Amino acid sequence: MRFRDLQTKIKDLPAFNLNDIRKIDPGFHRQQLTDWLKRDYIRPLVNGYYLMADTNINESFLFMLANRIYQPSYISLESALAIYHIIPETALTITSVSSRKTKLFESQFGRFSYRSIKPQLMFGYQIIGQGKPIKYTIANLEKTILDYLYLNPQIDSLDDLIELRWNKQELSALNESSVFKKYLNIFNNKALKHRVDLLMEYIHD
């Protein structure tokens, strides 16, 4: 397969692996990938994925990559908290939630962190950029908060929440959110309910 043919046929994929290529060309040899790497046509990502060398990398693209390289997953936790202005923006690690095991990938483009939850808790997300070249799946505000509180059991007092210094003004939207209450009921977790009660105390303090 010629490199230009590959570019044309996988242009809609944010990243690709050997299996993606072999769906197009079943007889493709791995050695050709090595040759393309040596010629700087492509760059290694993580988990057997590659990028075109001329790919323009920005935050949205990194979110899309995070969805792609470890499936199923969606952006949540610190990355989503920053998007919703609950915490100051940070680009050190792209954080996601997945029904697969907890995983951390280091790459030349940054770190991709995945926290594991039960498959039945994989809900409450949306697609940003639907129909556009760059699109990604991210938890909505309510699910982001619940994911974080659920996966951080060390939060056990009002002081613990105060130390997080979350933006109370942005969190105030949770007060009248029927979605937040609905999601909390789906979790059906007493420890999480306790942390949510602490959060509400924090918001109104």
Write out pLDDT tens, residues 89-141.
Answer: 776 899 999 999 999 999 999 999 999 999 999 999 999 998 888 999 999 99
* 99 and 159 share one domain: yes
Q: Which amino acid is located at 184 in the chain?
A: L
* 87 and 188 share one domain: yes
Q: Which residue's entry shows tokens 């951080």?
A: 152
Compute and round to an integer the Cα radius of gyration of the chain. Answer: 20
pTM: 0.93
pLDDT in tens, 24-74: 999 999 999 999 999 999 999 999 999 999 999 999 999 999 999 999 999
69 neighbors 45 (Cβ within 8 angstroms): yes
The residue segments making up the domain with residue 157 are 59-204
3-state secondary structure of 109: coil
| Structural domains counted in the chain | 2
Chain mean position to CA 141: 14
* 64 and 43 share one domain: no
Q: Where are the alpha helices (DSSP H) in 102-177?
A: 141-151, 158-164, 168-171
Q: Which of 35, 52, 69 is the last residue of a domain?
A: 52
Please tell me the predicted confidence (pLDDT) of residue 17: 94
* 160 and 74 share one domain: yes
* 44 and 63 share one domain: no
**Integer angstrom CA distances of residue 106 from 34, 47, 89, 103:** 20, 10, 20, 10
